Amino acid sequence: MALILTNDGSHSVFSETYGVTYHSTHGAVTESAHVFIAAGLRYKAVVQREIAILETGFGTGLNAFMSWLEAERRNLQLRYVGLETAPITQEEALVLNYAELLGVPERAGDFQSLHQSAWGAEHALSEQFQFRKEQVSIETFEATAAFDVVYFDAFAPQAQPELWTADVFARMYAALRPEGVLVTYCAQGAFKRTLKQVGFQVERLQGPPGKREMTRATKT
């Protein structure tokens, strides 16, 4: 993994295996705040205080960390499950500057706890944040009506086309509760047609810096 600095000053890493970065080069924190926190977590927090989130692509842990902070700010009860088949090392996580960039340098240890937590176990990291990570693939993950939000943060379709199939999104549809939402940075036409094919109602939203659009899909 090669460490990179994105345009908002926050770190990302470059995957030599897939030839892409884990976050937008226009700003890792900016992208996560726009796509996942604002369009996903805050959107659901308008109508409910207990929210279950599934993240496909735990990666650097940025989305989980920002969700944890948001839950505490809004006094939400968050249950968070992150899937990842190729986790970064604890040594790689130590150099990421997210706590500093988010204005909470005193929470750097909490960010590290996301990476140090045992896989496959439930962790009560605060009164507002229950956390579990699973080292399983998106293609094999199964759950039924268990989540309110899916953060679909896999690598882009051109890098990992096997993760952007009707079968995968049918699994995501099944995993969501009624009126649950899937949010992602991707807005490709073929991808949105696949979402509709498996039953989602699809919205086009303004994208983060560097992208014209993003997608939010609702289980109707």
pLDDT digits (tens, 9 = 90+) for 157-167: 999 999 999 99
Length of the chain equals 220
- DSSP letters, 170-200, are HHHHHHEEEEEEEEES---HHHHHHHHHTTE
pLDDT at 3: 95
Average pLDDT over residues 206-220: 96
Confidence tier at 1 by pLDDT (50, 70, 90): confident
Residue boundaries of the structural domains of the chain = 27-219
pLDDT digits (tens, 9 = 90+) for 34-71: 999 999 999 999 999 999 999 999 999 999 999 999 99
Q: How many CB atoms lie within 10 A of CB 166?
A: 13
- SS3 labels along 128-146: CEEEEEECCCCCCCCCCCC
CA distance 178 to 195: 15
One of 2.40.50.100, 2.40.30.170, 3.40.50.10860, 3.40.50.150 is the CATH number of 27-219, namely 3.40.50.150
Task: List 214's β-bridge partners, or say none.
Answer: 205
pTM: 0.97
